[in-house]
Chains A and B, each alone.
Chain A
């Protein structure tokens, strides 16, 4: 029998808290999740911001939708098939899935479903508003057109190249240049906003005139160009955002959209279905490298490619009052059309089945959830590798349960630390990182500095990044910029059989610096590492390598400790409550504890309370459905 109202509310809160699973950084950042594995670096750089945002969000929402669906399945979908409950005497059309979702009519050999969701566009869509002025031709790419974006200078940076011509736009300088993805660019800043224009088949004077007539839109949706600044042929206008990666009208993003993704080896396809005015579909054609008209099951369609993105190809067509854009990487024109022709509107039952198929197990223990490498390739499978702690030591003031996962490192980097050893000064360390980047790009020149070095000043510290001709990147991070330049001159990457094998110090280090931590390798081939999260604000994990490089990167005060007789380091950031203890383990790795809102002594006590289990016991203990 239910008790009084307040007690029932408390019970209800406990039930809701139990059913609310913590959100992980990978859901947000998209790292490691199958739905986010599109190589965004293949997308032209001017589009990266947009695509990164969209795919990260899509991945997060796929994960969220999946988790939610999992709960629904538990509660409302017993074993009986929905079809089995259909009355025999009445035949009704099957309900159509939301947002124009499509499903494959037959299996597509070799292609695996990797993600599906129904979603609306991001809340930050205003940052990526794009207004297009074009002719009313059905093939607007053949005629003149103008694309206009405008956004807060703090929000993002427009594409600029070094080969620009300067023109006057009112009282400010504007930069004219040829865009890598095609079109003529005009970029200028005024009143705290960037204006970013791209002209196709227009003259420079026409583009400049449009820039002079551009102003922020009254409704906050980017910029508009006063008709006085537009060529007469540009009689139609559309406003929207660039999706993945195609233009979507504002009306489209105000309605639910469905998103499905498939992969086949290194090839991928992703389908977005949305509602918008059919006359706006053609605006996708503007800015494409090539546009080819075709049909999908007899319906008009067009295939686009993007300059500098040889692997990308998309096809857009309409069915059932919805537009569908199917993007692809590594798929031929013929295969793309064939795939599109096998897609048909989904029923709700079919769409639910698609969502179920992509739902990961809730709070699953790692490898099978995210396709991570098997753990333990570097971390010895000894008892010290799998930490646990008495959860009752962590106050449960917010509600989430303990769960376990594996973490891994996406980039391979050699990391070392320099500092003054005698007496040890751990508050003023220099971190050295050397890695190889396949897509390393020349860096902007700093006045009075070497041309291949970029400086980053974060307020709490400085980072110098040098990109070498062979795409090796050397990073030094610390506080004293002159000292960092002198350190950088003494770092020489080493290779074995053409592969980066670390770095050497080739000269005398400045300011009595010594090597406090020799370079060690951290990367995806390290395997993955057990991590235990408790109540959402405390976690324990094993990190590869010693503790010092972990804390040196944070550029804050570091204290040497002893935990259980082992050397340890403590670091805290009082301004945000962050606290860290790193304990040096016998196998050369670090037991890392991080928490929010804990005092130094509490963190030390917690570190002393950590116990180690063998992997199977650890898995058995935490691999529960929550």
Chain B
């Protein structure tokens, strides 16, 4: 083992600890934005970037927030257009979840979709969401409420027809 390898081992140990606290938050946040498939790819890309730039990342005050943006860039490069949350083979039980809701979520703006999914689907607090998205909690609250209202309106309209 060379000095380089020793340093690499320490790098690996530190990063493994970081992964314990950051991986799931990052993956779920990107899943909320881009769906299970592309969200996971984006999270892998962001974490790979963090692995290669660990000395930089470990000094950051909000590494998950930064990596969310790295993942966001990656996902948009993969598909430079709005990405539905559902699709890519995810099973949705139509007995419990209306297909109209799924489509309505996909039609939301990126920020509204991410906020409403994290707050109402994944049960995050607006503060936690704000930290990852680099938004004030009040802004997250606004996005989330407006998105929820839009979803309700869409579903009511659908059922009215």
Contact = CB atoms under 8 A, between A and B. Distances in A.
Interface of A: 1-3, 5-6, 8-13, 15-17, 19-23, 25, 27-29, 52-53, 56-57, 60-61, 63-65, 67-68, 71-76, 120, 122-124, 127, 154-155, 254, 256, 397-400, 411, 413, 433, 435-437, 439-441, 443, 454, 456, 458, 463, 465, 467, 473, 475, 535-539, 553-554, 573, 576-578, 594-597
A6 B149 CA distance: 11
Contacts of B141: none
Nearest to B121: A13
A123 B92 contact: no
Contacts of A553: 10, 13
A10 B55 contact: no
A456 B6 contact: yes
Given A124-B49, A535-B24, A537-B21, 18 more contacts: A1-B95, A8-B98, A9-B151, A12-B105, A17-B31, A20-B31, A23-B19, A64-B40, A71-B88, A122-B52, A123-B45, A123-B46, A123-B77, A473-B3, A475-B6, A539-B20, A576-B18, A578-B20
A122 B51 CA distance: 12
Interface residues of B, number: 74
B96 A8 contact: yes
B15 A25 contact: yes
A541 B144 CA distance: 40
A577 B21 CA distance: 8
Interface string B30-46: 01000111011101111
A19 B90 contact: yes
Contacts of A537: 20-21, 24
B28 A467 contact: no
A596 B9 CA distance: 20
A441 B89 contact: no
Nearest to A1: B95
B152 A5 contact: yes
8 pairs of A and B residues whose beta carbons are closest in the complex: A13-B121, A75-B89, A536-B24, A71-B89, A435-B1, A72-B89, A465-B3, A398-B24
Given A11-B93, A28-B51, A56-B51, A399 B122 contact: yes
Nearest to A121: B77
8 contacts: A5-B151, A9-B120, A10-B120, A25-B16, A27-B44, A465-B2, A473-B2, A596-B21
Contacts of B47: 23, 28, 60
B103 interface: no
B37 A71 contact: yes
B28 A17 contact: yes
A435 B3 CA distance: 11
Given A15-B91, A398-B25, A456-B6, A57 B48 contact: yes
A127 B92 CA distance: 41
Nearest to B53: A124
Nearest to B148: A5
Nearest to A453: B3
B39 to A, nearest CB: 7
B40 A475 contact: no
Contacts of B36: 16, 19-20, 68, 71
A463 B6 contact: yes
Interface in B66-116: 70, 73-74, 77-78, 85-86, 88-98, 101-102, 105, 116
A17 B142 CA distance: 24
A32 to B, nearest CB: 12
Contacts of B155: 5
Nearest to A553: B13
Given A15-B93, A25-B15, A5 B101 contact: yes
